[in-house]
């Protein structure tokens, strides 16, 4: 069996240009770009932002971003001023969840919910 080299979700964007600016502000790097998609990465992980939007999909779409220190990541995130710059729902700061992970939540301009979770590895 060949070794898996990646797994990338396709994330919907209501306003493609705004979403690209949002993800850059959050700390993702634009790796490749075309008319209909943009590939963003952070370290060795990536996702594909698509110039496609269905409200029901976007508002039910969730992604977990696992980090070693959610508090440190959160402090860096707050500097981005997401609510004022992108008119998104206010981020929810990290808190210990009943299932045992410390998680903070951010919403992108299309309504996609990101769970920023502290994990051991």
Q: Tens digits of per-residue pLDDT, 41-94?
A: 999 999 999 999 999 999 999 999 999 999 999 998 866 789 999 999 999 999
User: Which range (46-50, 94-98, 117-121) has the least confidence?
Assistant: 117-121
Q: What does the pLDDT look like over 2-47, one tens digit per residue? A: 788 889 999 999 999 999 999 999 999 999 999 999 999 999 999 9
Burial class (CB within 10 angstroms; exposed 0-12, middle 13-18, buried 19+) of 4: exposed
Distance CA 93, CA 40 (A): 24
Say what the pLDDT of residue 119 is.
Answer: 87
Among positive and negative, which fits the CA dihedral 50, 51, 53, 58? positive
Q: Whole-prediction pTM value?
A: 0.92
| pLDDT of 5 | 86
Structure tokens at 23: 């993800």
Q: Is 102 or 121 the better-scoring residue by pLDDT?
A: 102
88's tokens: 């998104």
pLDDT at 38: 98
Query: Which pair of structure tokens corresponds to residue 121?
Result: 């590895």
DSSP string for 22-47: HHHHHT-EEEEE-SSEEEEEETTEEE
pLDDT category at 121 given cuts 50, 70, 90 is low
44 half-sphere exposure, CB direction, 13 A CA radius: 2
């Amino acid at each position: 069996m060949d070794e898996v080299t990646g797994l990338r979700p396709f994330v919907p964007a209501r306003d493609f240009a705004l979403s690209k600016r949002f993800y850059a502000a959050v700390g993702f790097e634009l790796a490749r770009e075309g008319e209909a998609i943009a590939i963003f990465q952070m370290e060795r992980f990536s996702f594909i932002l698509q110039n496609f939007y269905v409200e029901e999909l976007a508002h039910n779409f969730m992604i977990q971003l696992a980090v070693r220190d959610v508090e440190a990541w959160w402090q860096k995130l707050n500097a981005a001023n997401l609510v004022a710059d992108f008119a998104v729902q206010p981020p929810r700061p990290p808190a210990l969840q009943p299932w045992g992970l410390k998680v903070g939540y951010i919403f992108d301009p299309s309504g996609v919910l990101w769970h920023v979770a502290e994990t051991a590895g």
